[in-house]
Structure 1
Amino acid sequence: MKLLADLHVHSRASADGRSSVEALIEAAKARSLAAITVSDHDLCMPLPESPDVLLIPGVEITSANGHILGLFLDRPIDFAALGRYPAPEKAIEAIHACGGLAVLAHPFAPVKLSEEAISKLPFDAIETANARAMLKPGANEKARQLAAGLHLPGTGGSDAHCARELGGCVTEFDCEVSLSALKAALLSGQCHPVEVRACKWVWKGFSKLRRERTCGTFVSRCKALGYFAGCVLRDILKI
């Protein structure tokens, strides 16, 4: 059966997240999503029971060279042992040790690793449709070209930091709704990332401001204000 899954979602457990997991589940139901990955920043949290929407255990690790998604984890990552800002290879190793798939998140928004460096790392997939990366012209297209060149599957995720953003980009599968089936389909490349405009850009701007207000510097807060202004302008101009 064909189904849609958002493979990159943050709850309020992340410093810049604004919605509970329960609110994310309700938003997923409203958008006819069969599954979502709860991938909070540098932490693994227990997930509630969810009979209507499959919750995929995940994480987004802030490595020394960009963000790396861990999907389909069968146990929590030991962040005390992994440490802050681990090398990408260490982050990938930790994800694989916990039964997960390592996905390079939004590789060109911003650029943190060269394409040559990426090619030498054991990623299982590359995020080629990220709703926030849609704000950077060409970022998702470059990610698609990179994945094709490396013969890796592409994934789609909203990178939502609130329920309104959910479903901004998704991954289409043709399989049963189960962790094992989705994981196998992704590993074999039997999935298709899809870009969708699910909400106004301003909500992405709010999330950015929240993160920098909580843990940013003066410079990063100024940049976040610029980002927010750009989001507002995009909504006004409808671009």
Structure 2
Amino acid sequence: MLRADLHVHTLASDGDDFERVVAYAKLRGLDAVAITDHFKPASPKLAERAEGMLILPGVELEYEVGHVLVLGVDERFNPPPTLPELADECRDCGYVTVLAHPAVAILSRPGRLERLRAEARMLDAIETFNSMYPIFGLMVRLSRELAASLAMPETGGSDAHRASSVGRCYTVIDSDPSLDDVLAAIARGRIAPQGTPSPIAERLRVAVGALRRAPLKISRRHAYLAAPSRYFRERCTR
């Protein structure tokens, strides 16, 4: 069994130094970490800088359904403009898709729950344990109810923006310690989420930061949805 934090940010977006992330992951007894920066995919070459730690290169994107984690990305990844196209491309390439922190959408857009359910079905798994959930118990319960109603696998991730939060929530994976085996285990549901919330001060800091960045995030989202491939290439060169 492996322990993997499947939702972590680095300095490539709004997170912490990669080496610090790896150091905290080792302190927390993790075997693997997914690097999922906003709109900027992690390079598979990061694994060369993380001796003793399996790195899952990923990215966090945004669609109408909410935020989507794509795990296992490589040089072939070319994000399409719609969720159905994303789901098809990821399955063709062997990537894994996860609906991130769905309780945010459930609580902020309660009238769109059926649409959320319909779109979530296109993905491989649902993140039910997120250590940055402000109301942790309630939001985990809502996320798990969604996953159970769709009979979908559940993942756990810290959503860490500071290295000290890495591993607060994680996923137990019945897999060998290789990228392909881990991705296959997630897609097949050989996983279980576990964890606890990050300290309330950190959760509030991340929540306030998200609100402050909302106008920038909206402009980025519009630019991304208008021409995702071009936006993706531009971000990769920065």
TM-score (norm 1): 0.77
Q: Distance in 1 between matches of 2:178 and 2:134?
A: 29
3-state secondary structure, aligned to 1:108: helix
Distance 1:110 1:45, change over 3 A: same
Distance in 2 separating the partners of 1:42 and 1:174: 29
Corresponding position of 1:20: 17
Corresponding residue for residue 135 of structure 1: 135
Contact 2:117/2:150 (<8 A) preserved:
no
Distance between the aligned counterparts of 1:136 and 1:115, measured in 2?
23
Structure 2: distance between partners of 1:76 and 1:28: 28
Task: Name the CA distance, whole Å, in 2 between partners of 1:174 and 1:217.
Answer: 41
Query: Is 1:144 paired with 2:144?
Result: yes
Quick one: distance in 2 between partners of 1:124 and 1:106?
A: 14
Verify the 8 A CA contact 1:10 1:161 in the aligned structure 2. yes
Which residue is 1:8 aligned to?
7
Say if 2:42 is the partner of 1:34: no
1:211, CA displacement in angstroms?
Answer: 4.7
What are the Cα deviations for residues 183-210 of structure 1, in whole angstroms up to 9, with x where unaligned? 121122111100224x422123333444
Q: Does 1:110 align with 2:96?
A: no
Partner Cα distance (2:175, 2:215) in 1? 45
SS at match of 1:138: helix
Question: Secondary structure at 2:176's aligned position in 1?
Answer: coil
Task: Report how many residues are paired.
Answer: 209
Unaligned runs of 5+ in 1: 221-239
> Within 2, Cα distance between the matches of 1:3 and 1:208?
30
Instruction: Provide closer, same or farther for how the CA distance between residues 12 and 53 of structure 1 changes in structure 2, counting only shifts above 3 A.
Output: same
Give secondary structure in 2 for the equivalent of 1:119. helix
RMSD of equivalent CA atoms: 2.5
- C-alpha change, 1:117 and 1:109, in structure 2 (3 Å) is closer
User: Unaligned 5+ residue runs, structure 2?
Assistant: 219-238
Aligned to 2:77: 77
Q: Is the 8 A contact 1:95 1:102 kept in 2?
A: yes
Supply the AA of the counterpart residue of 2:118: S
Q: What corresponds to 2:231 in structure 1?
A: none
1:163 aligned partner:
163
Compared with structure 1, are the counterparts of its residues 166 and 92 closer, same or farther at alpha carbon in structure 2 (3 Å cutoff)?
Answer: same
> 1:136 Cα shift?
5.2
Distance apart, 1:89 and its partner CA: 2.4
Alpha carbons of structure 1 residues 114 and 32: separation in structure 2 relative to 1, 3 Å: same
Cα offset, 1:76, TM superposition:
5.4
Contact (CA 8 Å) 2:117, 2:146: kept in 1 or not? no
Match of residue 62 from structure 1: 62
Partner residue, 1:200: 199
Contact 1:75 1:99 in 2 (8 A): no
Query: How far apart are residue 102 of structure 1 and its match?
Result: 1.1
The percent identity for this pair of structures is 33
Distance in 2, Cα, partners of 1:107 & 1:134: 13
1:77 aligned partner, one-letter code: F
